[in-house]
């Protein structure tokens, strides 16, 4: 039986997912996280929200793979837009992920680099191809780009520009890169999808709250269509 893991950072990000699938059969409380288990078309689907931040997301992704045997991982949630062509409600496919808050440049390394790793972690091309096909069939515009992750909510124009200048990022959030690192380490394909909920500037805190629910719903609808293709 195929096993797919779906992760969001917040409860609000997985609530629409749980509503889209049949009633969950059971749930497991592990490491402070509740993992929902669903059998859907002869496939096991495991859904959880990690809590905010890279550490929590890494724990959840590792648990999905090591405890529940997930063979593919999809992360779905919201993000702050950095590129001018990204508007609130747009869907963004993360082709590469980086950690904008990693800095050991004092030792001559580039920003975002960790020894025995690399600045950018690529997501799985086969899953990304499915995402593109779903967008095409749904008549949706799916934008693509680099997503930068860090343990800070970005809400200043200066920091926003710094991330753009140093990483060429299209969007910023707080979990995706850690999920990508975990999946890359265990050779598990991953896909990172983000709905743009704010512009990561001085009004970010206001627009984030306002558009969280609608953005999360849009992402959940898209992931459901991806799962239907995978199963």
> Which residues form the catalytic set?
13, 198
Secondary structure of residue 223 in the 3-state scheme: helix
Contact present, 104 and 113 (Cβ < 8 Å): yes
HSE on the CB side for 11, CA within 13 Å? 2
Which uninterrupted H or E stretch holds 130? Answer: helix 125-137
CB 4 within 8 A of CB 71: yes
Count how many Cα atoms sit within 13 Å of the Cα of residue 36 in the half-sphere of its side chain. Answer: 19
């Amino acid at each position: 039986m195929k096993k797919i893991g779906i992760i969001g950072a917040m409860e609000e990000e997985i609530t629409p997912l749980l509503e889209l699938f049949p009633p969950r059969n059971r749930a497991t409380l592990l490491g402070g996280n509740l993992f929902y288990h669903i059998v859907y078309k002869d496939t096991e689907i495991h859904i959880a929200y990690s809590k905010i931040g890279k550490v929590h997301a890494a724990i959840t992704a590792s648990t999905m793979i090591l405890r529940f045997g997930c063979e593919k991982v999809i992360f779905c949630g919201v993000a702050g837009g950095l590129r001018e062509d990204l508007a609130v409600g747009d869907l963004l496919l993360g082709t590469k992920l980086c950690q904008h808050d990693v800095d050991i440049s004092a030792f001559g390394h580039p920003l975002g680099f960790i020894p025995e790793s690399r600045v950018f972690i690529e997501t799985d091309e086969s899953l990304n191809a499915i995402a593109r096909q779903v967008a095409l069939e749904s008549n949706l515009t799916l934008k693509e780009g680099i997503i930068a992750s860090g343990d800070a909510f970005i809400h200043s124009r200066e920091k926003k520009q710094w991330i753009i200048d140093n990483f060429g990022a299209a969007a910023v959030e707080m979990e995706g890169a850690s999920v990508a690192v975990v999946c890359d380490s265990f050779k598990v394909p991953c896909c990172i999808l983000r709905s743009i909920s704010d512009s990561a500037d001085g009004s970010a805190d206001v627009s984030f709250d306002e558009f969280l629910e609608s953005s999360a719903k849009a992402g959940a609808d898209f992931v459901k269509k991806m799962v239907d293709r995978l199963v």
